[in-house]
Amino acid sequence: MAYLLGIFLAIVAFWMGNSGHYTPLMLGFAALSVVLTLVLSARLKIIDREGAPYVRLAGLAAYYPWLLLEIAKSNWVVIKACLRADLDISPALVKVKTTCKTDLAKVTFANSITLTPGTVTVEIEGDKLLVHGLYEANTVPEAFEEMDRRCARAADPAGSAA
């Protein structure tokens, strides 16, 4: 029941923050869509710890500022590569092992890699990710260890009780 309440509050806050329309008709549509979403979620049995947004808010709030800094640093590397007269990239594919346990944490880690300019997660298979990078020297499994550790701590709270 606590997860249902958390999801209800998250959906209402998301709708209110994005809508900007607070007329009675629009609030009625909002109530109808929130109730329909909760009913369908309950029938599909997807209201659980992993789907509850408030369980990992603190961890993700600490993770995303760090990720934004990493994105900015990677942007600088890619911008320099684009502005050079000679294209000195050396693309590489590498398999990266993750310590993330839940599907949500693995997807968050894969998306974090893809959001970082110059790298793309091509595939997730079990606990391994196939990553393509612009520079072979920067695309080694060890280069992703800190991101993996931080992502696991943020998206797998309390030791990943999945």
Distance, in Å, from the CA atom of 139 to the CA atom of 78, rounded to the nearest integer, reads 14
3-state secondary structure of 96: strand
Residue 17 pLDDT > 80, yes or no?
yes
What are 135-157's pLDDT values in tens digits?
888 889 999 999 999 999 998 76
Contact of 137 with 91, CB cutoff 8 Å? no
Give the residue-averaged pLDDT of 52-67: 83
pLDDT range class, residue 161, cuts 50, 70, 90: very low
Residue 118 gets the label, from left (phi > 0), alpha (psi -120 to 50) or beta, of left
Please state whether beta strands 128-133 and 92-97 pair in parallel, antiparallel, or not at all (unpaired).
Answer: antiparallel
The overall pTM is greater than 0.85: no
